[in-house]
A = this chain, B = another copy of it.
């Protein structure tokens, strides 16, 4: 698995969930399918009057989610930026060319209420729940750092093995210290709760 394959999968799923935050801190989510894909960027269309557009202009942070038919969750964390004004028409036309249904929603010149945002710097999380143990991996496109999440076992570990016994995915290896196989970790917190000496550290 890699970033490019994840982006191909997003394109195949078609209708993605986009989450933003409203000014009063409430989570906001909607479906977006008016998306154009390049190998290293996404371009998507919305209308200037929508709360979605205003949230993006105020704070471009967005998380995008796709769930594939193979029980894979693909999540993109990014900052969306409006394309330069001089390029807006070009990208609107590209997206409308690729997505014929848009002509029913915004016929003729009404597409001019639209605005296109681009995403170039993103963290992509891939999470496959169909395999056992589950498999997860992160990738970076462009200029962004991976956000550390989940748990890690520190040198306070006394090697009792309680974490490994209680791990739902059997993804903790014996060692000094015991070690979580991060690619199989649910981030459930069971090891963290069960450790008798608080040797498990939260990464975020």
- A residues neighboring B (CB under 8 Å): 15, 17, 19-21, 25-31, 47-51, 59, 61-65, 67, 73, 75, 77, 101, 104-107, 110, 113, 129, 132, 134, 149, 151, 166-169, 186-190, 192-193, 204
Contact = CB atoms under 8 A, between A and B. Distances in A.
Nearest to A129: B105
A163 B204 CA distance: 49
Given A30-B75, A51-B204, 6 more contacts: A47-B190, A48-B189, A49-B151, A105-B129, A110-B190, A113-B190
Q: What are the 8 tightest A-B residue pairs by CB atom distance, in nearest-first order?
A: A49-B189, A47-B188, A110-B168, A17-B17, A19-B27, A19-B19, A19-B29, A113-B190
User: Number of copies of this chain in the oligomer?
Assistant: 2
B188 A50 contact: yes
A125 B20 CA distance: 17
A186 B105 contact: yes
A19 to B, nearest CB: 4
B65 A31 contact: yes
Nearest to A200: B49
A20 to B, nearest CB: 5
A49 to B, nearest CB: 2
B64 A29 contact: yes
A160 B35 CA distance: 35
A187 B65 contact: no
B110 A167 contact: yes
B63 A27 contact: yes
Given A17-B17, A105-B134, A166-B110, A27 B61 contact: yes
